[in-house]
Structure 1
Amino acid sequence: MIKTITWDILLSAGTFFATSAIIGLVIERIVLRRLAALAHRTSWEGDEIVITSLKGLTFYTFLLVGLYGATLRLPLDEKTQHLADRGILVVLLLLATVLMMRLAAGFVSHYAKKAVLPSTSIFSNLAKAIAFSVGILIILQSLGISITPILTALGVGGLAVALALQDTLSNLFSGLHIIATRQIRQGDYIRLGSGEEGYVTDITWRNTLIRALPNNMVLIPNSKLASAIVTNFHLPETEMAVLVQVGVSYDSDLEKVEQTTVDVAQGLLREVQGGVSGFDPFVRYHTFADFSINFTVILRCHEYVDQYLLKHEFVKRLHRRYLAEGIEIPFPIRTVQLKGTEG
């Protein structure tokens, strides 16, 4: 027999629900913040991942606890109580699934930075997908739905799915291959044989994202990148040579040209940001051209983008120094001789 709902029962249920909500709010707004401040002082970063994952979930968890306690105080019939218990259990398992997804993604990203594999979204997304799949299976099992036929159907349909998602799976495994070989890493500056170049910002399950110098984003399918000819300007190290082509007049004293040019280059590397100050620049003559004797000046910068400022400053300084030293930088001259015609 169902009891009559009285004001005392409603007040008791409401009080329990409100108290649980207040406790959840206090834990969310005060306790977790203080725990986060303490976690910053510890050497292990895992506690920060746990606290960050709990944010936004503790309040709703205590709401569910309060709702469950309130339903126990209300005179509900057996069927209604059973439905309420099932609903609360499903929502609680969903919150637990979200927590596991956050923890999995956080710890995978954290330990990937210290291990062989770089920190990219492809691993965190895979960890989230696995945690979500396990959570859904647990929810179905808790509702009395047998997961064995589902797993069997997934196994049988796996071949059809693999055929339908051929390109997607190709990009996925190509992305894993790119990350595992560490020949292209997050933050590297690369150039493809087709001309695209920029900084690698992320390697996802489908594309590799490259931020070009004009601040545009280039999306390259992982399968295309894995089979492309790629120049990585950050391997084996970020430092690289900067080659500047110069030409001087045939009347120039080449010993003086070399000494003057090296002197300008040494001052440049010491004073300009991006130059490797400990590197000794040098000159190599290589061509008797039509109007000049050409040579290459070899400088060195810390990374790829530093070369633009070095070249900019070097051209200005070298031009000013050549003018002061009387060294001529020739420009093309064409002499035309006209034969006169006999009258």
Structure 2
Amino acid sequence: MTEFFQEHLKAIYYIIAVLICVTVLQVITQLAHKWLVKREQLKHPDKEPNTLHLLRRILKILWYILGLSAISVVFIEEQYRDRAKSDFWLIFYLGIVITFTVIGVAVVQNLFSKAIIKKVEEREDPTSYKFLRNLAVFGVYFVGLVLGIYAFPQLRGIAQTAVGGAGVLAVVVGLASQEAFANLVGGVFIITFKPFKINDIIKVSDVMVGTVTDITLRHTIIRNYENKMIVIPNAIINKEKLINYDLGDRRCCQWIEIGISYDSDIDIAKDIMKKECTAHPNLIDNRTSLEIKNGDPKVLVRVTALNESEVTLRAWAWSWDYSSGFVMKCDLLESIKKRFDAEGIEIPFPHRTMVFKEKQLKELKEQLS
């Protein structure tokens, strides 16, 4: 036993030194994590420091892997030790790249978050800053990926091509035919020309109406009135004809359309619709000074169609914005229906007249009897 220790004394000291280094690095990582978390919680008590937790896990795993890699050198043959040392430094390099990439992303997000919060407090549009934040985060990840690829000799040509001038053009041309690049360009167009911005209410189709919550490099996210998130690729939303209820004048005109039967009194029905619309709290007076002087009504009601079984009446009711207008329309449809029922105004339902020939009518009577 003594001979074994004397023969391998140098290796034993080496392993002990490695274990001590790994332990010290783990302790330093844990202490630094606690100190940074405490400092972060003092600045942002309501925010969970997920980035610091992630960095701690990455570093702890890195120290363990490097320690095992260093110890493994003792147990392998001499001709393989150069390869083991090369692998050790490769792991160390990749760990450092991942660590600084995570730190870079956290720094970028923190800087842009401060700018976004400031914009929101000043009641300005933060859309551009949110998009630039996503673009900067993508850039940090791209640099980290290139540096990671550069660690492998067989892949260095790809990394050098990606960061070279001709390589950038090649990458762009390669992506141009793909949907990813189309979405990226679409996002840039949205930020540049601003057909809509975050917190705007837009209507892409009858089933896609809601508030814009985010615009990323790939897609736009809309929260509809069922609190569901609708994710639309930027390339698609740029091609659609959409309605932005918050672009320019936010006032909204709602059409209150109801059909009545031909036997009902049109004047009474129009008067009911006019009074119900006028009494609603969300209604605003959109008349010009000339129209007010001329005595034009606040709510205009007219016959817009003579259909097969109904006379269509339409009231033009204005509200401050789309949201209040939608509530007003729902309330008015209910209140007008109740007033029509009380006043004897009939809302017809579709019906069909069937004509039977004499022979068919006789057969039908025989079957019924």
Report the TM-score when normalising by structure 2: 0.62
SS class of match (2:345): coil
SS class of match (1:57): helix
Question: Paired residue for 1:236?
Answer: 248
Q: Measure, in 1, the Cα distance between the counterparts of 2:132 and 2:43.
A: 25
Shift of 1:4: 3.0
Q: Deviations over 1:85-111 (max 9, x none)?
A: 553243123211222123224434553
Shift of 1:181: 2.0
Structure 2 counterpart of 1:197, from 189, 194, 208:
208
Structure 2 residue 30 is the aligned partner of structure 1 residue 25: yes
Question: Paired residue for 2:176?
Answer: 166
Structure 2 residue 103 is the aligned partner of structure 1 residue 99: yes
Question: Paired residue for 1:111?
Answer: 115
Shift of 1:293: 8.3
Q: Deviations over 1:217-264 (max 9, x none)?
A: 66544344334322112323555232212467447468xx64x54553
Change (3 A) 1:94 1:294: closer
Q: In the alignment, is the contact (CA less than 8 A) between 2:37 and 2:52 conserved in 1?
A: no
C-alpha root-mean-square deviation of aligned residues, in Å?
4.9
Change (3 A) 1:3 1:210: same
Change (3 A) 1:109 1:279: farther
Q: In the alignment, is the contact (CA less than 8 A) between 2:198 and 2:213 conserved in 1?
A: yes
- Which protein has the bigger helix share? 2
Using the aligned pairs only, state the percent identity.
18
Unaligned runs of 5+ in 1: 43-47, 270-275, 337-343
Structure 1 counterpart of 2:135, from 126, 135, 141:
126
Question: Paired residue for 1:328?
Answer: 345
Q: Measure, in 1, the Cα distance between the counterparts of 2:102 and 2:350.
A: 74
Question: Paired residue for 2:366?
Answer: none
Q: Measure, in 2, the Cα distance between the counterparts of 1:23 and 1:152.
A: 37
Q: Measure, in 2, the Cα distance between the counterparts of 1:7 and 1:333.
A: 94
Question: Paired residue for 2:328?
Answer: 310
Change (3 A) 1:268 1:70: same
Q: Deviations over 1:294-333 (max 9, x none)?
A: 34141426434x5554333323323334555x46356599
Question: Paired residue for 1:300?
Answer: 319
What does 1:173-252 correspond to in 2, within 5 Å?
173-192=185-204, 197-199=208-210, 200-210=212-222, 220-236=232-248, 239-246=251-258, 249-250=264-265, 252=267
SS class of match (1:56): helix
Q: Measure, in 1, the Cα distance between the counterparts of 2:229 and 2:312.
A: 42
Q: Deviations over 1:154-186 (max 9, x none)?
A: 433444444432244333222201122222223
Q: Measure, in 2, the Cα distance between the counterparts of 1:215 and 1:94.
A: 36
Q: In the alignment, is the contact (CA less than 8 A) between 1:140 and 1:146 conserved in 2?
A: yes
Aligned pair count reads 315
Change (3 A) 1:301 1:14: same
Question: Paired residue for 2:291?
Answer: none
Q: Measure, in 1, the Cα distance between the counterparts of 2:299 and 2:37.
A: 60
Report the TM-score when normalising by structure 1: 0.66
Q: Measure, in 2, the Cα distance between the counterparts of 1:311 and 1:27.
A: 59
Q: Measure, in 2, the Cα distance between the counterparts of 1:328 and 1:138.
A: 76
Q: In the alignment, is the contact (CA less than 8 A) between 2:218 and 2:233 conserved in 1?
A: yes
Q: Measure, in 2, the Cα distance between the counterparts of 1:63 and 1:289.
A: 74
Q: In the alignment, is the contact (CA less than 8 A) between 1:64 and 1:88 conserved in 2?
A: yes
Q: Measure, in 1, the Cα distance between the counterparts of 2:172 and 2:156.
A: 25
Q: Deviations over 1:101-147 (max 9, x none)?
A: 23224434553563765168754443233213333555677899988
Change (3 A) 1:52 1:106: farther
Change (3 A) 1:267 1:116: closer
Q: In the alignment, is the contact (CA less than 8 A) between 1:117 and 1:179 conserved in 2?
A: no
Q: Measure, in 1, the Cα distance between the counterparts of 2:125 and 2:320.
A: 28
